[in-house]
Amino acid sequence: MDSAVPPLVEVSGATVRFGAETALSSVDFRMFPGEVHSLMGENGAGKSTLIKALTGALPLDAGEVRLNGVPVRFRSPHDAQQAGIRTVYQEIDLLPNLSVAENIMLGREPRRFGAIDWKRVRSEATVALADLGLDIDPASQLGTHSLAVQQLVAIARALSTEVKVLVLDEPTSSLDLDEVAELFRVIRELKQRGVAILFVSHFLDQVYEICDRITVLRSGSLVGEYKIQELLRIDLVQKMLGRSPGEIATRAPAAPTEKKSQTVLSGAGLTVRPGIANATIELVEGEVLGLAGLLGSGRTELARALTAVDRLDGGTLLVTATGGSPRTPREAIFHRVVYSPENRRTDGIIDRLSVEENIGLALQAQYGVFRRIPRARMRELAASWVEALGIRPADLSRPAGQLSGGNQQKVMLARLLALAPRVLVLDEPTRGIDVGAKVDVQNLVGELADSGLSVVFISAELEEVLRVGHRVAILRDGAIVDTLPSDGLTVDSLLALVAKPDENAE
Partner 1 sequence: MTDLKTAATSPLSTVLGALNTFRSRHASWIPVFAAVLILVVMFGFAQWWFGNFLSLRLISALLLDNAYLLILAVGMTFVILTGGIDLSVGSVMAFTGILCASLVSQGVPAGVAVPLMIAAGAAIGLLIGVLVHYFDVQPFIASLVGMFLARGLAFLVSLRSIKVEDEWILALQSTRFKFGDFYITPTGIIALVVVVVGVLLLQFTRFGRTIYAIGGNEQSARLMGLPVVRTKILAYVISGVCAGLAGLVLTAYQGSGYPLNGSGAELDTIAAVVIGGTLLTGGSGYVIGSMIGVFVYGTIAILINFLGAEQSWKRIIVGGLLLVFVVVQRVIVTRSSRRT
CB 457 to partner 1: min, Å: 24
Collect all residues with Cβ–Cβ distance below 8 Å to 341 and sequence separation of at least 6: 347, 348, 427
Q: In the 8-state DSSP scheme, what is residue 422?
A: S
Quick one: 72 or 139, whose CB is closer to partner 1? 139
Residues 6 or more apart in contact with residue 166 via CB below 8 angstroms:
86, 87, 88, 158, 159, 190, 195, 196, 197, 198
Whether the Cβ atoms of residue 184 and residue 36 lie closer than 8 Å to each other:
no
Residue 307 DSSP one-character state: T
Tell me the pairing of strands 288-293 and 454-458.
parallel
* Cβ at position 312, least distance to partner 1 in Å: 16
CB of 77 to partner 1, least distance (A): 5
The minimum distance between CB 448 and partner 1, in angstroms, equals 31
> Alpha-carbon distance 44 to 28, whole Å?
17
Distance between CA atoms of residues 477 and 496, nearest Å: 15
Q: Are 40 and 217 in contact (CB under 8 A)?
A: yes
CB of 28 to partner 1, least distance (A): 26
- CB-nearer residue toward partner 1: 59 or 96: 96
335 burial level (CB within 10 Å; 0-12, 13-18, 19+): buried
* Identity of the residue, 147 or 394, whose beta carbon is nearer to partner 1 in the bound complex: 147
Classified as helix, coil or strand, 263 is strand
Name the minimum Å distance from CB 69 to partner 1: 24
Angle between helices 118-131 and 147-159 (to 10 degrees): 100
> Rounded to 5, what percent of the chain is helix, strand, coil?
40, 25, 35
Type and span of the H or E element at 309: none
Q: In what order do the strands lie in the sheet with 471-476?
A: 337-340, 423-427, 454-458, 288-293, 471-476, 479-485
Using CA atoms, how far apart are residues 453 and 419, in angstroms rounded to an integer?
12
Minimum distance of partner 1 from residue 176's CB (angstroms)? 10
| Least Cβ distance, residue 76 to partner 1 (angstroms) | 7
Grouping H, G, I as helix, E, B as strand and the rest as coil, residue 467 is helix
Q: How far is the CB of 262 from partner 1 (least distance, A)?
A: 36
Q: 3-class SS at 487? A: helix
Q: Which is nearer to partner 1, 38 or 297 (CB)?
A: 297
Peptide bond into 71 cis (omega under 30): no
Work out how close the CB of 169 gets to partner 1 at its nearest, in angstroms, rounded to a whole number: 11
Judged by CB, which is closer to partner 1: 61, or 137? 137
Compute φ and ψ for 465, nearest 5 degrees: -60, -45
Distance between CA atoms of residues 184 and 155, nearest Å? 12
CB nearer to partner 1: pick between 200 and 216: 200
Residue placing its CB nearer to partner 1 in the complex, 105 or 466: 105
Q: Which one, 169 or 440, has the nearer CB to partner 1?
A: 169
User: Which is nearer to partner 1, 408 or 454 (by Cβ)?
Assistant: 408
Q: Please tell me the total number of residues recorded for the chain in this structure.
A: 506
Residues lying near partner 1 in the complex (CB under 8 A): 57, 76-78, 81-82, 87, 89, 93-99, 102, 106-107, 109, 111, 114-116, 135-137, 139-141, 143-150, 157, 296
Q: Please report how the helices 375-389 and 405-417 are oriented relative to each other, as an axis angle in degrees rounded to 10.
A: 120
Distance CA 44, CA 456 (A): 28
Minimum Å gap between C-beta 150 and partner 1 is: 8
Least Å from the CB of residue 105 to partner 1? 9
Question: Which residue, 134 or 318, has its beta carbon nearer to partner 1?
Answer: 134
CA distance 58 to 412: 28
Q: Which is nearer to partner 1, 178 or 487 (CB)?
A: 178
What's the rounded Cα separation, in Å, for the pair 91 and 77?
Answer: 16
- Is the dihedral angle over the CA atoms 252, 258, 260, 265 positive or is it negative? positive
CB-nearer residue toward partner 1: 158 or 284: 158
Cβ 471 vs Cβ 281: under 8 Å: no
- Smallest distance from partner 1 to CB 5, Å: 29
Q: Could you count the other beta carbons within 10 Å of the beta carbon of residue 205?
A: 12
User: For residues 93 and 189, which CB has a smaller minimum distance to partner 1 in the complex?
Assistant: 93
